[in-house]
Amino acid sequence: MKHLRSLLDLTNVEFQTIISWSRSLKAKLKAGQRPDLLKNRTCALIFEKASLRTRVSFEAGMAQLGGTAIYLTSDAGWRERESIADFVRVLAEYCDFVVCRAISQSTVDELALHDVIPVINGLTDQSHPCQAIGDVLTMLEDSNGNLQGKTITFVGDGNNVVKSLIKASHLAGMRFRLACPQQYQIADSFFALINDRYGQIDFAQSENLRDMVAEADYIYTDVWTSMGQEAENESRKTAFAHFQVNSKLLSIAPKHCKVLHCLPARRGLEITDDVLDSERSIVFQQAGNRLHAQKGLLVWLAVANGYITQNDAGLG
Ligand code: CP
Ligand code: NVA
């Protein structure tokens, strides 16, 4: 059974197919077409953390594809009334997909271990693959399909969003730079598996902002304190104080450089209003693309798991 526990579940070709189908579904929607490729299919959503974009884009995406999403609240008894093993085996009797936003990556991995229903990672402490798929879609649109050799610089914490973005941007042929205080940088051990699976990544990380943004085609940032890290808020504010995406930083980046943020943003901390609301920001296009990326992913999983044929999907 095919899952999306992390991007490592996808081959390069599979990743490109999801991006391509997301683009096709976006074009169809713009032309007023909502093909019911997942008619009568159901997707359960189980979220241990707050969400706007991930939840709504999956719910809207399922509806547009002719299916239904079921958002489970805590009264479903996740962990408390029964084990994850029993929970997922029961869900699989009713539903065709499950999206899980979990405190820990191990929860998503455990759901998938039973191999009874395709499991989609809707963010964990370690990764956010759905976000990264939408981000590549956004940069591809912005660059007219030409991301090969382009540089993305992430300014901020070496967190879950970065870890997925490093993989996705590598699959898109990009170079990755991380401007981050040393203690929050990414451990060398993270790269072994990726290099092994996808080939050598072009990656550098440094505290030196100027070096990291000098060649940036895209600058990306995210909150300094992720969900679950609230106790570290004050120490993180101090550590990241110089890692703000503001107009001064943009003045040392190439003039054509665009700005991304996965949202939600803490305006005035990791990014200033004047940048987020500027013409160089593609942040709301990026948020919108979560819908199209989610639809591309769902249809791809439907094909990969034999619910429909590639021919039925008709997306190329
Ligand atoms: N970017 C993102 O995943 O947003 P939500 O937390 O609102 O889902
Ligand atoms: N890094 C953030 C991303 C939110 C979409 C968090 O985990 O809270």
Same domain, 279 and 299: no
How many Cβ atoms sit within 10 Å of the Cβ of residue 75?
8
Q: Flag whether pLDDT at 316 surpasses 90.
A: no
Same domain, 78 and 213: no
Same domain, 247 and 121: no
Which atom of ligand 1 is nearest the CA belonging to 55? 8
Q: Which of 157, 226, 232, 266 has most ligand 2 atoms within 8 Å of its beta carbon, as the pocket-test mutant?
A: 226
Same domain, 159 and 240: yes
Q: Flag whether pLDDT at 78 surpasses 90.
A: no
Same domain, 296 and 276: no
Catalytic residue among 5, 53, 128, 177: 128
Ligand sitting nearest the alpha carbon of 160? 2
Number of compact structural domains in the chain: 2
What average pLDDT does this structure show over 283-303?
A: 98
Same domain, 141 and 269: yes
CATH number, residue 301: 3.40.50.1370
At 102, list the tokens: 């979990």
Q: Rounded to two decimals, what is the model's pTM?
A: 0.98
Percent of the chain past pLDDT 70, that is, above it, reads 100
Same domain, 122 and 184: no
Backbone angles phi, psi at 219, to 5 degrees: -115, 135
CA 7 to centroid of ligand 1, rounded, Å: 17
Same domain, 172 and 282: yes
80-136 pLDDT, tens digit each: 899 999 999 999 999 999 999 999 999 999 999 999 999 999 999 999 999 999 999
2 within domain boundaries: no
Same domain, 137 and 254: yes
Same domain, 212 and 171: yes
pLDDT band at 57 (very low <50, low <70, confident <90, very high): very high
Ligand sitting nearest the alpha carbon of 134? 1
Q: What is the mean pLDDT of the chain?
A: 97
Same domain, 55 and 147: no
101: annotated active-site residue: yes
pLDDT of res. 79: 87
Q: Which domain holds residue 134?
A: 129-286
What average pLDDT does this structure show over 225-250?
A: 98
